[in-house]
Amino acid sequence: MATFYEALKHKNRMSPVLLKRAEVLAVGVGYADPSKPALGAGVLVYTRQKIVPSSLNSLKSTILKAGTSVPVRFVTSGRFKTNMAKVKPKANLSFGRFRPVPGGVSIGRTNPVATGTAGLIVTKNNQLFVLSNNHVLIKNNSTALSGTLQPGPADGGFASRDTVGRAFQFVRLRSGKVNFQDSALAIPTSNNLLNPRYLISSTGQLVTVPGHLLSYPVGLQLVKSGRTTGYVTGVVESNNVDVRVSYGGTLGTLLFRNQSVIRGTNGPVSLPGDSGSVWLRARDRFAAALNFAGTIDGMRSISNPIGLVMSTYGVRVAIPAASGKVKEGVIRGAAPSGNHAYMQPLTEQQRKRIRAVLVRSTK
């Protein structure tokens, strides 16, 4: 039986070799057998849906040459791609017009049009922001001014009527280099336009998110509100994942490290329009991860650890307070020392590569 520490070491050795192969899409660490967690950890290799036997045998041979007793589990997930919406989904309250705007609802930009999800309302120095993805809020991965609409254009949002703010800050996506997050903030025209709560029901029920987690383990049960799939449930299938994500256009396919794969437990969880939605720990609704991509069938989400995202911008979850004010949410859930089932923090060198960039406030 392998420990998570052993599985992570083996994954780190194999991943650069395996990801050079066209049929391999991601490599992470999870349970050797998810139905029997007591059997310990293993390396999870995510592959294309249709993989010929000769390719699979070649993959197995490569792994055997690495010479380890750590189990390897193959998951035929299909490719991972970003999830911007083009059309309105079936009946789902989250694509409607909300004033003030909570987390979990439709948001987007124009020129070029994009529609995703306002994942979470966050705060810094008493200023509120919407947390979502770069590819949802930011114009062409650049510092160009971009208005923020709620609902997004795919859901009938128009700049003249539905602009609630503008893109404010983001982490640039980098072709040919390692990426660690797809994130951005939008700043509202007025704090009164944002509601520091989170939509969890088709009836319009809103809840308070008490704070965010620094880390979380494989097997953790999660919930999420997304513009397209609505309120869904999932489980952390693998952590510390290296993954290739298809963006299309000039960005092409980008490599991300230190991600989580979250598998839907009762249907799709990451379809077009769900980009930017935020996963919460099911038992107490602490924010855990920022969804930015998924498989074609939507059954698996690729998500950034929220702790890294929040520290990049220096923001905290916004919580309602007396007299219409807000306060900062708490921070919990650091990875226990030596427990490698949890998402591991980046090295100091890796963190130095991440820089938040300001969007121009005028044309």
CATH code, domain carrying 72: 3.30.300
In the prediction, which pLDDT does 335 show? 95
At residue 156, the 3 state secondary structure works out as coil
What does the pLDDT look like over 10-40, one tens digit per residue? 999 999 999 999 999 999 999 999 999 999 9
Alpha carbon 134 to its chain's center: 11
* Residue 4, pLDDT above cutoff 90: yes
Q: Tell me: do 86 and 68 sit in the same domain.
A: no
Half-sphere exposure of residue 52: CA atoms within 13 angstroms, side-chain side: 3
Q: Tell me: do 89 and 206 sit in the same domain.
A: yes
**Segment 225-250 mean pLDDT:** 96
Q: Tell me: do 40 and 143 sit in the same domain.
A: no
Q: How many domains are contained in the chain?
A: 2
Percentage of the chain lying above the pLDDT 90 cut: 87
Assign 61 a pLDDT band (cuts: 50, 70, 90). Answer: confident
Q: Tell me: do 119 and 212 sit in the same domain.
A: yes
Q: Which of 20, 50, 78 is the last residue of a domain?
A: 78
* Residue 92, pLDDT above cutoff 90: no
Q: Tell me: do 310 and 329 sit in the same domain.
A: yes
pTM, full prediction: 0.97
The per-residue DSSP string of 247-269 comes to EETTTEEEEEEEEEEEEESSS--
Give me the domain span that covers residue 113. Answer: 79-363
Q: Tell me: do 65 and 119 sit in the same domain.
A: no
Q: Tell me: do 249 and 290 sit in the same domain.
A: yes
What does the pLDDT look like over 126-140, one tens digit per residue? 999 999 999 999 999
Q: Which residues contact 111 (CB under 8 A, 6 or more apart)?
A: 139, 146
In the prediction, which pLDDT does 196 show? 98
Q: Tell me: do 22 and 120 sit in the same domain.
A: no
CATH code, domain carrying 243: 2.40.10.10
**Segment 48-77 mean pLDDT:** 81
Structure tokens at 210: 């008490």
What does the pLDDT look like over 314-343, one tens digit per residue? 999 999 999 888 999 999 999 999 999 999
Taking the CA atoms of the chain, what radius of gyration do you get in angstroms?
A: 20
Structure tokens at 162: 């539905």
Assign 91 a pLDDT band (cuts: 50, 70, 90). Answer: low
Q: Which residues contact 183 (CB under 8 A, 6 or more apart)?
A: 131, 132, 133, 134, 170, 171, 290, 292, 304, 309, 312, 313
Q: Decide which of 51 and 168 is more confident.
A: 168
Q: What is the mean pLDDT of the chain?
A: 94
Q: Tell me: do 59 and 128 sit in the same domain.
A: no
**Segment 51-67 mean pLDDT:** 74
Q: Tell me: do 299 and 348 sit in the same domain.
A: yes
Euclidean distance between CA atoms 226 and 220, whole angstroms: 19
Contact 279, 303 (CB under 8 A): yes
* Residue 65, pLDDT above cutoff 70: no
Q: Tell me: do 179 and 272 sit in the same domain.
A: yes
Q: Tell me: do 65 and 91 sit in the same domain.
A: no
Q: Which residues contact 69 (CB under 8 A, 6 or more apart)?
A: 2
Contact 166, 147 (CB under 8 A): yes
What does the pLDDT look like over 252-285, one tens digit per residue? 999 999 999 999 999 999 999 999 999 999 999 9
* Residue 116, pLDDT above cutoff 70: yes
In the prediction, which pLDDT does 67 show? 66
Q: Which of 63, 78, 93 is the last residue of a domain?
A: 78
Percentage of the chain lying above the pLDDT 70 cut: 99
Q: Which of 47, 78, 109 is the last residue of a domain?
A: 78
In the prediction, which pLDDT does 87 show? 72
